[in-house]
Amino acid sequence: MSIEFSKPLTATETPIPGVVLFDLPVHGDNRGWFKENWQREKMLTVALPDFKPVQNNVSFNEKAGTTRGIHAEPWDKFISVATGKIFGAWVDLREGPTFGNVFTATLDASQAIFIPRGVGNAFQTLEDNTAYTYLVNDHWSADAQGQYTFLNLADETAAIQWPIPLSQAELSDKDKAHPRLSRVVPMPPRMTLVLGANGQLGKALREAYEDDLSVEFAGRAEFDLTADEAFGSRNWKNYDTIINAAAYTAVDTAESPEGRRAAWQTNVTGVARLARLAVEHDLTLVHVSSDYVFDGTREVHSEEEEFSPLGVYGQTKAAGDAVVSVVPKHYIVRTSWVIGEGKNFVRTMANLAARGVTPSVVNDQVGRLSFADDIAAGIRHLLASGARYGTYNVSNEGGAQSWADIAADVFELRGESRQSVTGVSTEDYFRDKTAAPRPPSSVLSLKKLQETGFIPETAEKRLRQLLES
């Protein structure tokens, strides 16, 4: 076998999304050759995903013409040749627009290829004594075979041009019996699980993902962050993302002994268990955070600002954020003043306007409304665009307003006088009441989010749309 020595490590995309062909540096002399078949740090720099392999398998083939496949397993594979030469064929057997796409290549010991879950893999040996290696990121088990997808090597639609005709090749009876493409059931994508699916944001996420059958929704009855059994209720190998829109949000009640325990149990202990789950199963964890992690003394809050929570609720949200931040694949979505389907400030003010009530509303806390539909769209954008993992502020655009300003806008849009709303200080509003401290400024910088290509609509426009609908 003739191998080109000392090629640079390079990656080449193929017609099948996610399938990447690699040239590997091979170093040789009079004794033979040596290569780094798998070098995580270097390969991550040339488009190989960090797929966390756990098992290495070797297929040894005595004779040229041995042909195996086409098998699509429910895990990712990094495939290379240890010795000899093969003709490889790969067919996309995943649900989606690229189902049936084919890529073929001849590989020797100086090349490797990454095959994502659901892409059918096959090869034919071109030399005697060829060894073919698989590095995979899940452990083989008999149970997993029920999740395989197969395609017949002779499928006419794929029309793979085997160098050695299949009539002259060595095939197993099982491979000969695999179905044609028209009868193949595509491998479905891994699932996304949305927690807190019955809250304001959860309902908006239901709407945002109503066209995606791979997204599953769970309210507290289906998945309670405080219940041990919830975390063992699913086969997490079938998931790739968790969106956590569940939280304890009773800001004032959290200041009581019972509320304090409940807030920590949900917002910290439950979130820590989600984080551990995400690390163990290599999941992406999207966690919804709050402006209450800050004391509000800065005019605008960036993602890099240090935590400075004033009350128990803010302390638990800050602790949850800190836990999630150690998950390798995470998005912390920080938002404020959420308005969605259900009871919220805007609907309360609209009802007061309709009843002719003239409310007193706090005028020394400023921020921007965050409409749940736009938060959900922002989350979907971050996941779909492959934005860098980390923390992102997500709210609506526009100028800072006080609660009293927003209340006056609501009254005006409802045909009532702005003067019906009386502004009062936070201190006066909560006088003689048990209340958690509030950050005086909740304005979030949106620069980092906008740099990913997502530009939220203004809160003013969304408010008008809501009240005119």
Distance (Å, whole) CA 24 – CA 133: 14
CA 101 to each of CA 115, 120, 184, 195: distance values in angstroms, whole numbers, following the listed order: 13, 10, 14, 35
Distance (Å, whole) CA 271 – CA 246: 9
Of residues 318, 324, 450, 469, the one with CA closest to residue 394:
450
Amino acid identity for residue 309 in this structure = P
DSSP 69-90: EEEE-SS-EEEEEEES-EEEEE
Rounded to 10 degrees, the C-alpha dihedral 409/415/418/421 comes to: -90
Of residues 345, 289, 301, 307, the one with CA closest to residue 443:
301
Is 301 part of the annotated catalytic residue set?
no
**Exactly one of 27, 132, 134, 389 is catalytic; which is it?**
134
Distance (Å, whole) CA 291 – CA 307: 10
**Exactly one of 71, 178, 301, 381 is catalytic; which is it?**
71
Tell me the two tokens of residue 460: 């003013």
Strands (E), 137-244: 149-150, 191-195, 215-218, 239-244
Is 178 part of the annotated catalytic residue set?
no
13: Cα within 13 Å, side-chain hemisphere: 5
Catalytic residue numbers, as ranges: 71, 134
